[in-house]
């Protein structure tokens, strides 16, 4: 028995080679793809009005008989059909391709027309949608008198004759033709329990709904499908990691950890302690740890990572931490090495551009196990890097890496524990989807004594005053960051703006001070020097692009000015702001924006002024940008849903998640569910996206 998934679109009636190619460009390859190509929106054409009651400007369906046709020649050649329903008249007008209309509309024929009613010497409809009414007065409401689905259509599809109306017709006839092949995706027990309508019905309705109630029921069911199977995969992954995969069972926390904690100039926050305990518990157990640590900027994630690494080291294993940028890796190295050297732990730093002999030496140390803690960038996952005995792999700022890269670091050892850290706090609903297979720890407390950062915004016309203010603060001994945006498309221009600004203020506004420059195009030695100079106080102002975005820590820097703040995303602004407010003194973040602000920019900037809470900010950001954009669809583990929206449909998501986690606990239910899922391409696509090729 063929499945929808096994039938190439080429062989579907009414498609053919040429259209098949067009479809394929839009990711529609099989019959399954086609019937799951859902309308993007619906037009309600259910109101049918007698012509007597029709008014100019309204959108409505009218029914009537053609009483007269005429063709006007000339520059504005047009075909006009006069239609009557006994209560009044209306003229339907078509420009161009008169021969088509001439053939279609004959005096005496009846039609349903839909469009926006216009007026030109009487009621008028220009290029209305239409359906023919047969002699019994019935009409197949495809385009009129119904809720009409509108499909995503592109210029190219339209050129190939696949405009929304053609798609509508094609998909509906295809559904009828292949009705028998539409197998149910959901197990019967779930269907019964939640009174879901069948997949067959849902597909029929989604492509041609008769009523709004029906449409809602169909949408609900199809959304559930999408979420359910995604959650099922996540549930299975999680179960597998917890039961099957035997990892390392580290013994207890040892003296070195105690020594380290005692040597710290501060006490760990309660949240840090709690998260450490959660990690220790995972590490002691033989299962492979897969834990996500979420914590706002400045919540002290590095310390937690360090403590986890030390537990591995004390048990005779190596530990690795990978950061997204060299600046960050270097900073981690300095902090970590500074603390570990004293207690006799060997730490090395592995970067991309290191000298060959340095690199060789480190690689050797990593291979023999002499290097106990390894800090690095992507350089860590290169082939030439071999560990002796990797016990824990930590990924800092996880959202900056792809799923594959995280996996690669893990593969450097034999089932090491994995800890991923992120400073992009995401709302719970999102994290249970994106990280549904991970255990999550949250550091929901900032170290004591942190002063909240005051955030203000100023129009760029006030730039002079702002820089006067900053200069006054510098005189008092403060340090300042000035950040310029770096948008990928116009990287060069932006870089020039930052560089020019730097040249200008160095000899102008800030001529009594030392000004540093930091951007992504600099060599790592140059970047390192710029950062070190700023950290040591040698430079007072650091003009930078967003490379300082993550993790950089300079307690004496209390001013952050962000130029073109209207161009930054909300999460990014928050991350940047997190660079200040790390010392004793109160910090200020000044958002300098070009006016007038559009609504979205205004919302971002206002939100920054209202709260310092990363979770709240993430929630607003999610609302503005949507999950795909916020997490970056390509980078994130999030598949593209065809109908579900993990923000708007969160209740369906939660329901699906509950059912998925319940299903995997019941062997029989799981078997049945998997048997059904196997037939569907979308299920396999999820698997692929989550890089987990085989379940069973
Ligand atoms: P993030 O979570 O943003 O990565 P970091 O780990 O860089 O934060 O920590 C920010 C700063 O806070 C560092 O200077 C770190 O030494 C310091 N810190 C960490 N934990 C504490 C604590 N419990 N009390 C005071 N300062 C702390
Ligand atoms: Mg950090």
pLDDT, one tens digit per residue, over 1-59 is: 677 878 888 888 888 888 888 888 888 888 888 898 898 888 878 888 899 999 999 98
Confidence of residue 79 (pLDDT cuts 50, 70, 90): very high
Whether 439 is covered by a domain: the verdict is no
| Ligand 2: centre distance to CA 422 (Å) | 8
Contact present, 619 and 643 (Cβ < 8 Å): no
Residues 406, 481 within the same domain: no
At residue 677 the predicted structure's pLDDT band, cuts being 50, 70 and 90, is confident
For the CA of 555, the nearest atom of ligand 1? 14
Judged against a pLDDT cut of 70, whether residue 178 lies above it is answered with yes
Q: Please state the rounded mean pLDDT for residues 398-416.
A: 81
605 and 464 co-located in one domain: yes
Categorize the per-residue pLDDT at 91 as very low, low, confident or very high, splitting at 50, 70 and 90.
Answer: very high
Q: How far apart are CA 377 and CA 73, in angstroms?
A: 72
Strands 78-84 and 89-95: antiparallel
Provide the 8-state DSSP code for 287. Answer: B
Query: pLDDT class for 692, splitting at 50, 70, 90?
Result: very low
**Ligand 1 centroid from CA 400, angstroms:** 20
**Omega of the bond leading into 61 within 30 degrees of 0 (cis):** no
Residue 315, domain member (yes or no): yes
**Does the residue 589 lie in any domain?**
yes
Q: Residue length, the chain?
A: 696
Both structure tokens of 216: 């809602």
The domain that holds 315 is classified in CATH as 3.40.50.300
Greater confidence, 546 or 555? Answer: 555
- Given a cut of 70, whether residue 130 has pLDDT beyond it is yes
Domain that holds residue 57: 47-145
Query: In this predicted structure, which of 279-283, 288-292, 392-396, 523-527 has the lowest mean pLDDT?
Result: 523-527
Beta bridge mates, 482: 543, 561
End-to-end CA distance of the chain: 23
Ligand 1 binding pocket (C-beta < 6 A) is 266, 268-269, 272, 295, 297-303, 423, 447, 551, 553, 582
Out of 568, 589, 611, pick the residue that ends a domain: 611
Write out pLDDT tens, residues 627-675: 666 665 444 566 778 888 877 788 898 899 999 999 999 998 899 898 8
Q: What is the mean pLDDT of residues 440-461?
A: 90
* Residue corresponding to tokens 């169909």: 218
Of 559, 593, 611, the position where a domain reaches its end is 611
Does 362 score more than 90 pLDDT? yes
Residue 639 near residue 686, CB atoms below 8 Å? yes
Residue carrying the six token digits 């400073």: 423
Q: Is the pLDDT of residue 691 over 60?
A: no
Mutate to test the pocket of ligand 1, among 292, 422, 447 (most ligand atoms within 8 A of CB): 447
What mean pLDDT comes out for the span 557-580?
91
Residue 280 CB partners (closer than 8 Å, separation 6+): 253, 308, 311
Among 298, 328, 587, residue to substitute to test ligand 1 (most atoms within 8 Å of Cβ): 298
For ligand 2, the distance from its centroid to the CA atom of residue 329, given in whole angstroms, is: 10
Residue 475, Cβ neighbours under 10 Å: how many? 11
Distance 50 CA to ligand 2 centre (A): 67
> What pLDDT score was predicted for residue 634?
47
Is residue 386 one of the residues assigned to a domain? yes
| Predicted confidence (pLDDT) at residue 223 exceeds the cutoff of 50 | yes
Tell me the pLDDT tens digit for each residue of 98-117: 888 999 999 999 999 999 99
Mean pLDDT of the 292-298 span: 88
Residue found by looking up tokens 């300042």 in the block:
480
The domain boundary, picked from 130, 158, 179, lies at 179
In a domain, 656, yes or no: no
- Of the pLDDT bands very low, low, confident and very high (cuts 50, 70, 90), residue 569 is confident
The reply to whether 279 and 418 lie within a common domain is yes
Best residue among 265, 303, 328 to mutate for probing ligand 1's pocket (most ligand atoms within 8 Å of CB) is 303
From ligand 2's centre to the CA of 12, what distance in Å?
54
Q: Are residues 458 and 555 in the same domain?
A: yes
Q: How far is the CA of 209 from the centre of ligand 1 (A)?
A: 56
CA-268 nearest atom, ligand 1: 23
CA distance 414 to 347: 21
Ligand nearest to the CA of 301: 1
Instruction: Based on the fold, state whether residues 15 and 96 are members of the same structural domain.
Output: no
Residue with structure tokens 């059912």?
Answer: 659
The pLDDT score that the predictor gives to residue 694 is: 32
Residues 361 and 463 in one domain: no
Residue 214 lies in a domain: no
Q: How far is the CA of 561 from the centre of ligand 2 (A)?
A: 21
Question: Is position 405 within any domain?
Answer: yes
Q: Which two tokens stand for residue 365?
A: 């140390």
pLDDT at 336 over 50: yes
Helical packing angle, 524-536 and 326-340, nearest 10°: 60
The pLDDT value given to residue 693:
31
Residue 376 backbone dihedrals phi, psi, to 5 degrees: -170, 180
Q: Report which of residues 436 and 573 the model is more confident about.
A: 573
- Assess whether 370 and 472 both reside in one domain: no
| CATH code assigned at 74 | 2.40.50.140
Segment 400-423 shows an average pLDDT of 84
Place of tokens 């063709």: 71
The answer on 539 and 465 residing in a single domain is: yes
296: confidence class by pLDDT, cuts 50, 70, 90: confident
Is there a single domain that holds both residue 80 and residue 32?
A: no
Average pLDDT over residues 474-479: 94
Write out pLDDT tens, residues 484-500.
887 555 666 667 778 88
Confidence of residue 695 (pLDDT cuts 50, 70, 90): very low
9 and 57 assigned to the same domain: no
Contact at 8 Å (CB) between 564 and 484? Answer: yes
Mean pLDDT of 540-567: 85
Tell me, in angstroms, the distance from the centre of ligand 1 to residue 301's CA: 7
What's the pLDDT score for residue 367? 97
Which residue's CA lies nearest to atom 13 of ligand 1? 300
Nearest residue (by CA) to ligand 1, atom 4, is 301
Tell me if 202 is assigned to some domain.
no
Instruction: Give the residue-averaged pLDDT of 464-470.
Output: 94
The winner for highest mean pLDDT among 179-183, 371-375, 516-520 is: 371-375
Give percent of the chain with pLDDT exceeding 70. 93
Residue nearest to atom 16 of ligand 1 (CA): 300
Residue whose Cα lies nearest atom 10 of ligand 1: it is 298
Q: Are 489 and 555 contained in the same domain?
A: yes
Q: Note the pLDDT of residue 548.
A: 65
409 and 271 belong to one structural domain: yes
How many angstroms does the Cα of residue 298 sit away from the middle of ligand 1? 5
* pTM of the shown model: 0.70
Confidence of residue 309 (pLDDT cuts 50, 70, 90): very high
Contacts of 88 (CB under 8 A, 6+ apart): 50, 51, 52, 54, 123
Query: What is the position in ligand 1's atom list of the atom closest to the CA of 331?
Result: 7
> Comparing 320-324, 444-448, 535-539, which segment has the lowest mean pLDDT?
444-448
Instruction: Tell which atom from ligand 1 comes closest to the C-alpha of 396.
Output: 4
Looking at the predicted structure, is the pLDDT value of residue 599 above 50?
yes
Atom of ligand 1 nearest to the CA of 267: 23
Number of domains in the chain: 4
**Structure confidence at residue 431 as a pLDDT band (50, 70, 90):** confident
């Amino acid at each position: 028995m063929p499945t929808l998934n096994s039938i190439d679109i080429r062989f579907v009636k009414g498609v053919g080679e040429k259209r098949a190619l067009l479809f394929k460009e839009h990711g529609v390859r099989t019959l399954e793809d086609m019937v799951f190509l859902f309308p993007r929106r619906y037009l309600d054409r259910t109101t049918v009005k007698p012509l007597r009651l029709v008014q100019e400007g309204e959108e409505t369906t009218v029914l009537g008989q053609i009483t007269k046709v005429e063709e006007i020649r000339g520059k504005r050649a047009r075909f006009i059909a006069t239609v009557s329903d006994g209560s009044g008249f209306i003229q339907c007008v078509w420009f161009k391709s008169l021969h088509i209309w001439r053939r279609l509309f004959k005096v005496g024929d009846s039609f349903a027309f839909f469009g926006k009613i216009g007026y030109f010497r009487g009621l008028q409809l220009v290029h209305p949608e239409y359906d023919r009414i047969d002699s019994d007065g019935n009409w197949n409401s495809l385009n009129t008198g119904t809720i009409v689905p509108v499909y995503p259509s592109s210029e190219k599809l339209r050129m190939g004759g696949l405009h929304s109306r053609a798609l509508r017709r094609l998909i509906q006839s295809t559904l009828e033709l292949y009705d028998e092949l539409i197998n149910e995706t959901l197990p019967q027990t779930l269907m019964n329990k939640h009174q879901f309508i069948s997949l067959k019905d849902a597909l029929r309705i989604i492509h041609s709904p008769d009523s709004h109630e029906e449409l809602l029921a169909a949408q609900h069911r199809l959304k559930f499908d999408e979420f359910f199977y995604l959650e099922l995969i996540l549930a299975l992954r999680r179960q597998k990691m917890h039961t099957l995969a035997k990892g390392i069972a580290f013994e207890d926390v040892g003296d070195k950890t105690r020594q380290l904690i005692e040597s710290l100039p501060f006490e760990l926050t309660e949240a840090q302690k709690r998260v450490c305990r959660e990690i220790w518990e995972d590490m002691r157990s033989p299962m492979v740890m897969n834990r996500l640590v979420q914590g706002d900027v400045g919540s002290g994630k590095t310390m937690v990572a360090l403590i986890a690494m030390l537990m591995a080291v004390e048990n005779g294993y190596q530990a690795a931490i990978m950061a997204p940028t060299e600046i960050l890796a270097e900073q981690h190295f300095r902090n970590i090495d500074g603390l570990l050297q004293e207690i006799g732990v060997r730490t090395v730093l592995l970067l991309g551009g290191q000298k060959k002999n340095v690199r060789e030496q480190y690689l050797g140390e990593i291979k023999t196990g002499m290097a106990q803690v390894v800090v690095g960038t992507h350089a860590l996952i290169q082939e030439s890097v071999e560990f002796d005995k990797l016990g824990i792999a930590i990924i800092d700022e996880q959202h900056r890496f792809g799923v594959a890269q995280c996996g690669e670091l893990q593969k450097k050892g034999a089932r090491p524990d994995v800890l991923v850290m992120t400073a992009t706090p995401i709302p719970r609903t999102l994290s249970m989807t994106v990280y549904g297979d991970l255990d999550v720890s949250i550091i929901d407390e900032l170290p004591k004594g942190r002063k909240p950062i005051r955030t203000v915004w100023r129009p760029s016309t006030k730039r002079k005053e702002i820089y006067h203010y900053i200069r006054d603060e510098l005189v008092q001994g403060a340090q300042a960051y000035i950040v310029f945006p770096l948008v990928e498309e116009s990287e060069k221009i932006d870089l020039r703006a930052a560089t020019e600004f730097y040249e200008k203020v160095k000899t102008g506004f800030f001529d009594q001070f030392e000004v540093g420059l930091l951007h992504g195009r600099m060599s790592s030695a140059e970047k390192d020097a710029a950062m070190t100079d700023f950290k040591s106080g040698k430079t007072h102002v650091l003009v930078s692009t967003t490379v300082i975005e993550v993790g950089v820590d300079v307690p004496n820097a209390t001013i952050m000015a962000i130029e073109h703040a209207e161009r930054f995303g909300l999460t990014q602004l928050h991350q940047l702001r997190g660079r200040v407010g790390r010392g004793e003194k109160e910090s200020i973040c000044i958002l300098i924006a070009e006016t007038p602000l559009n609504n979205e920019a205004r919302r971002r900037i206002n939100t920054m002024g209202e709260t310092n809470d990363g979770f709240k900010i993430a929630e607003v950001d999610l609302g503005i940008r949507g999950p795909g954009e916020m997490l970056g669809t390509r980078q994130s583990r999030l598949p593209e849903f065809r109908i579900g929206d993990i923000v708007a449909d969160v209740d369906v998501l939660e329901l699906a998640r509950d059912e998925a986690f319940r299903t995997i606990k019941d062997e029989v239910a799981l078997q049945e569910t998997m048997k059904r899922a196997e037939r569907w391409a979308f299920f396999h696509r999820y698997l692929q996206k989550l890089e987990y090729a085989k379940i069973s």
